[in-house]
């Protein structure tokens, strides 16, 4: 019977929760099965001063061995009637389905935390009648466990928590039956952080896109400024798009007046962040008027041609007179 009682102690642990952090679990070294009917009497005896115990039993001459004997006699009826009930409760307990808990939670849950903290996750097997091997998964990858940290109870530690851990799931499951599992998802709370690069100089009439990368939990409200003033969006030239981690501004056919400092701002309950983008617009170069030059050349050529045609008689007459004039050369 004592060995049977003792079989319910291995794998049982206790810990303290302070804020968002659990202490290192410690194994029980003393105790008995849950719902032991003699517990109230034993606990009260432990808590009461020895003098009061002697007074209750009505004989100050009794030594401690006699007091223990008297208590045993008083406990016999309770034990005789309580033992069958205890056995029934234990049998029903051993027949329950095997289950898992993480940090005393019996169902999947979210664990809210912050960057820089340390989180300890303790997985324990419930209602087991034999030793059970446990596995841990981080997302889809297996976590390496040391010997002695995988049977009936297993602990993993995440330290330090980072922003990249937000949304990461940790799953504990039975090695023999992967359908018996429980998961916890890290909900890492942190203020907005922004990043981005200035675009190269943009010639007039070209398009440009400013990309502001954002990380925030909870999600941040995003807005664009130009030269410290709220940007007035022109529907036919400005396009704003946003995802969970990217906030973009596209300007079509930039003009000289579009140059300046653009500010991306993110604001949440955790704080505010800003980052600047410097946009330089190159003035458009004067294009060589090729078409105008060609048109002018055509006009000049046609004018000359028309002039020649109009004065062709006079020109021919001049050539004729020159050919008919007598020679003054002496023979």
pLDDT at 278 exceeding the cut of 90: yes
- What strand order describes the sheet that includes 246-251? 190-195, 208-217, 246-251, 238-242
In the chain, % of residues over pLDDT 70: 66
> CA 284, CA 222: separation in Å to the nearest integer?
33
Long-range CB pairs of 3-6, under 8 A, 24+ apart, other chains included: 5/32, 5/33
Q: Which of 135, 138, 169, 160 is nearest to 149 (CA)?
A: 135
Confidence of residue 94 (pLDDT cuts 50, 70, 90): very low
pLDDT digits (tens, 9 = 90+) for 153-173: 999 999 999 999 999 999 999
Q: Distances from the Cα of 235 to the Cαs of 226, 240, 251, 262, 279, in angstroms? A: 16, 10, 10, 18, 20
Mean pLDDT of 78-104: 65
- Count Cβ neighbours within 10 Å for each residue of 264-297 and write b for 16 or more, e otherwise: bbbbbeeeebebebebebeeeeeeeeeeeeeeee
Confidence of residue 331 (pLDDT cuts 50, 70, 90): very low
Residues contacting 70, CB < 8 A, separation 6+ = 57, 62
Confidence of residue 202 (pLDDT cuts 50, 70, 90): very high
Distance of CA 106 to the CA centre of its chain: 24
Token pair recorded at residue 195 = 């990043």
Radius of gyration for the chain, computed over Cα atoms and rounded to the nearest angstrom: 46
Confidence of residue 227 (pLDDT cuts 50, 70, 90): very high
Q: 3-class DSSP state for residue 282?
A: strand
pTM: 0.57
> CA 226, CA 256: separation in Å to the nearest integer?
14
Confidence of residue 305 (pLDDT cuts 50, 70, 90): confident
- What strand order describes the sheet that includes 119-126? 99-102, 119-126, 153-158
Confidence of residue 103 (pLDDT cuts 50, 70, 90): very high
pLDDT at 1 exceeding the cut of 60: no
> CA 219, CA 266: separation in Å to the nearest integer?
9
Predicted confidence at residue 81, as pLDDT, reads 53
| Total residues belonging to the chain | 331
Between 7 and 208, residue with greater pLDDT: 208
> CA 70, CA 323: separation in Å to the nearest integer?
167
Tell me how crowded residue 61 is: count the other CB atoms within 10 A of its CB: 6
Average pLDDT, the chain: 81
Phi/psi of residue 267, each to 5°? -135, 130
| Helix-then-strand count for the chain, H and E | 6, 22
Helices (H), the chain: 2-6, 39-47, 50-57, 64-94, 290-310, 312-324
Transcribe 176-206 into DSSP letters: S-TTSEEEEEEEE-EEEEEE--PPPPEETT-
Q: Which of 268, 222, 224, 264 is nearest to 243 (CA)?
A: 222
- Worst-scoring range by mean pLDDT, 11-15, 30-34, 212-216, 273-277? 30-34
């Amino acid at each position: 019977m004592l060995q049977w009682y003792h079989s319910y102690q291995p794998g049982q642990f206790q810990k303290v929760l302070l804020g968002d952090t659990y202490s290192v679990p410690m194994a029980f070294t003393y105790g008995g099965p849950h719902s032991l009917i003699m517990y109230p009497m034993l606990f009260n005896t432990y808590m009461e001063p020895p003098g009061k115990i002697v007074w209750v039993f009505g004989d100050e001459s009794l030594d401690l061995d006699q007091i223990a004997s008297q208590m045993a006699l008083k406990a016999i009826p309770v034990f005789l009637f309580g033992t069958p009930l205890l056995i029934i409760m234990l049998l029903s307990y051993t027949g329950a389905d095997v289950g898992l808990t993480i940090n005393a939670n019996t169902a999947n849950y979210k664990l809210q935390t912050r960057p820089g903290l340390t989180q300890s996750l303790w997985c324990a097997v419930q209602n087991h009648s034999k030793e059970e091997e446990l596995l841990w998964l981080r997302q889809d990858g297996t976590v390496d466990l040391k010997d002695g940290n995988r049977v009936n109870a297993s602990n993993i530690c995440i330290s330090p928590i980072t922003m990249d851990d937000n949304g990461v799931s940790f799953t504990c499951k039975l090695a023999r039956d992967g359908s018996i599992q429980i998961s916890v998802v890290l909900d890492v709370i942190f203020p907005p952080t922004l990043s981005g690069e200035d675009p190269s100089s943009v010639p007039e009439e070209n398009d440009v896109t400013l990309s502001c990368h954002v990380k925030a939990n909870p999600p941040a409200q995003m807005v664009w400024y130009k030269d410290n003033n709220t940007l007035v969006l022109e529907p036919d030239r400005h396009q704003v798009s946003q995802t969970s981690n990217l906030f973009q501004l596209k300007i079509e056919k930039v003009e000289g007046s579009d140059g300046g400092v653009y500010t991306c701002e993110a604001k949440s309950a955790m704080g505010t962040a800003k980052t600047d983008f410097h946009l330089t617009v190159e003035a458009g170069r004067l294009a060589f008027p090729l078409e105008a030059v060609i048109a002018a050349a055509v006009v000049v050529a046609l004018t000359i041609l028309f002039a020649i045609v109009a004065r062709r008689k006079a020109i021919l007459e001049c050539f004729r007179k020159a050919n008919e004039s007598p020679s003054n050369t002496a023979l």
